[in-house]
Structure 1
Amino acid sequence: MDRPELPLQQLHAFVVLAEELHFGHAAARLGIAQPPLSQQIRRLEDKVGHALFHRAPGRVTLTPAGRELLPAARRALTDLTDGLAAARAVGSGRTGTLRIGFAASLALTVLPGLLRTFRHRFPGVRLDIHEMTTAPQIAALHDRTIDIGLLREPPADQPELGFRTVLSEPFVAVLPAAHPLAAQRTVRLAQLADSPFVLLPREVGPQLRDRITGLCAEAGFTPRTAQHAVEWQTVCALVETGLGVSLAPASIRRIRLKGVAFRRIEPGDARTRVAVAWRENDPNPLVAHLLAAVGQDRPDRV
């Protein structure tokens, strides 16, 4: 047998009458006339199948059925009120979960300031942070497993995604400390032509890999890859062992390794672009809030 549905308006009227135990007072509190209140109570009693109130001249009391229903009716109204408040908070972007993918090197630049700004403005939002390289971020945005990406060298052929540049930083040469060029303050790219390279594999960051090899091509050579590494920390560690040299964003200098030297390169306009990425027309208000927070406490260039 199906359970009858109890309209919340009738439950509200029942709770108010149970608290007032006076039809006139309850009707005034509800802002309605007494006859409509009586009709709502009668309809509720018809659904329950039992009287909820004893009615006597000058006196109204709860029946055993009414006393049993009262706590459940109050819980239902409280749950509804709480649910509406929660829905409004999520709908306005004051609460909820925002899933962010980020390239590991950005923990050295834009990520900390951006998260501080966002958390200060929206302390009720849960941030679900995932470290991943550019290609997996693009896939995760399309798969809707992240809402925001922070990546290097965004691709140009993603019409469903939006990109905004948030940082431009120069490349530096990453050299073993014992490398002859480490004695120089500035290295011309062409001077690295005979050195083996430690590079990111193209499948995890194709645009960044192509940017690096393109700079080498402009300097007149194709880099000879001796070793691949997915993370910049690993790239630097492999350079320290003498396996090769590399080109990296300048923020990588914050990785402190005694056996690694970071040197400015010529041409000096060789820079890498950091962008925030999102799905176009994403209805999640948290995405718009994050985009508004971008740039609040961070320079566009380093």
Structure 2
Amino acid sequence: MDLQHIRTFVTIASEGSIQAAARRLGVAQPPLSRQLRRLEDECGELLFDRSRRGVTLTAAGRALLDRARQILVDFDDLAKFARNVGDGTQGELAVSFDGSAVFDVVTQAISTFSNQYPGVRVAIADIATDDQWPALDEGRVQAGFVFLPQGSPGHLAHRPVHTSKMMIAIDQYHRLAAAASIQPADLAGERIIMNDCRVSRALVEAAIVQIPRPGNAPVIEGGIGRLHVMLGLVAAGHGIAILPEALRVIHRDGVVYRDAGPDFPELTLSIAWNPAVRHPARDRFLAHLQGASPPPAPRRAAARAGMGRDLTPET
């Protein structure tokens, strides 16, 4: 029993005549009759009573008809789903971001994409930039918001989506608390709290090399993995932290934020992906970030499922 035989049976039942069904399907009557006989042989039951006026369903035919129609509906739904996955309007998409700085551009992009393509289930993962490269490489995520200037592995692609200024988190009684902005030279002798991410370290090092008093260089204390722990240490007067300006919305008692002066480097947020792996939903997401149309899905050879219908993905 194949799908074409089921479709033949349903069409004959709807038309009440093999001849009318043949006209509707655009085939000759003898092949259609042979398909019906093969189906009846497989079922071991007559599905129609034949007469000169046409055909009528037997008890077995009536029992089979509803299930046969549902099979056709389910197959059509499956074919449509496959086409939608092929053009990126349905399926799954894993997106990672560095939780040390959740920019509005990230949350808004994911939200608006999900609203525009509700058939794509977006899974979000909080992964540090350094750990996103292997996650992209291994296919655990398909797109990742990463921090540069640190370069990605050469086979992974990335493009900038947002640039953020930096700010300085200090305790409310710090000697710099009254300053409107803080310059790199003001950090002389300070203890800087940071995590071990290469990007964070690169930004801090780019700032402190500008301090004109190398004998009084800041002390860098790394190994702090979570933002709330960093801010807790800042509030306790243990040190200061250099953070993306987007985190200003996060309140912590005892901590104040001051603008980083123009000599501080800026932080670039980029979207990264593996171009060697085809993923239509990811391509739609990348295009969504740029406000452009996604690249067309490659055409496949016509897929037929024994029912005479062309299931070539639409582009």
Give TM-score scaled by structure 1 length: 0.87
The 2-side partners of 1:177 and 1:170 are apart by 21
More deviation, 47-56/34-43: 47-56
1:250 aligned partner: 245
Give TM-score scaled by structure 2 length: 0.83
Deviations 1:185-209 (A, max 9, x none): 22221221211121112xxx21232
Instruction: Decide which of 156, 176, 183 is 2:178's aligned counterpart.
Output: 183
1:218 aligned partner: 210
Structure 1 residue 82: Cα displacement: 0.9
The 1-side partners of 2:136 and 2:12 are apart by 53
- Secondary structure (helix, strand or coil) at the match of 2:145 reads strand
- The root-mean-square deviation of aligned C-alpha atoms, in Å, is 2.2
Shift in CA distance, 267/259, structure 1 to aligned 2, threshold 3 Å: same
The 1-side partners of 2:229 and 2:160 are apart by 26
More deviation, 217-226/162-171: 217-226
The answer to whether the 8 A contact 2:181-2:259 is kept is yes
- Secondary structure (helix, strand or coil) at the match of 1:181 reads coil
Structure 2: runs of 5 or more not aligned? 292-315
User: Percent identity among equivalent residues?
Assistant: 32
How many equivalent residue pairs?
288
Instruction: Decide which of 83, 95, 101 is 1:100's aligned counterpart.
Output: 95
The 2-side partners of 1:232 and 1:219 are apart by 26
Instruction: Decide which of 280, 288, 291 is 2:283's aligned counterpart.
Output: 288
Instruction: Decide which of 38, 59, 63 is 1:43's aligned counterpart.
Output: 38
The 1-side partners of 2:160 and 2:87 are apart by 26
1:149 aligned partner: 144
Structure 1: runs of 5 or more not aligned? 1-5, 297-302
Deviations 1:204-256 (A, max 9, x none): x2123222123212325453134642233332222111110121111222222
Shift in CA distance, 191/107, structure 1 to aligned 2, threshold 3 Å: closer
Letter in 2 for 1:212: V
Structure 1 residue 52: Cα displacement: 2.5
The answer to whether the 8 A contact 1:170-1:249 is kept is yes
Letter in 2 for 1:243: H
The 2-side partners of 1:123 and 1:190 are apart by 50
Deviations 1:171-193 (A, max 9, x none): 22221111111222222212212
Q: Does residue 208 of the first structure (1) align with residue 217 of the second (2)?
A: no
Shift in CA distance, 285/59, structure 1 to aligned 2, threshold 3 Å: closer
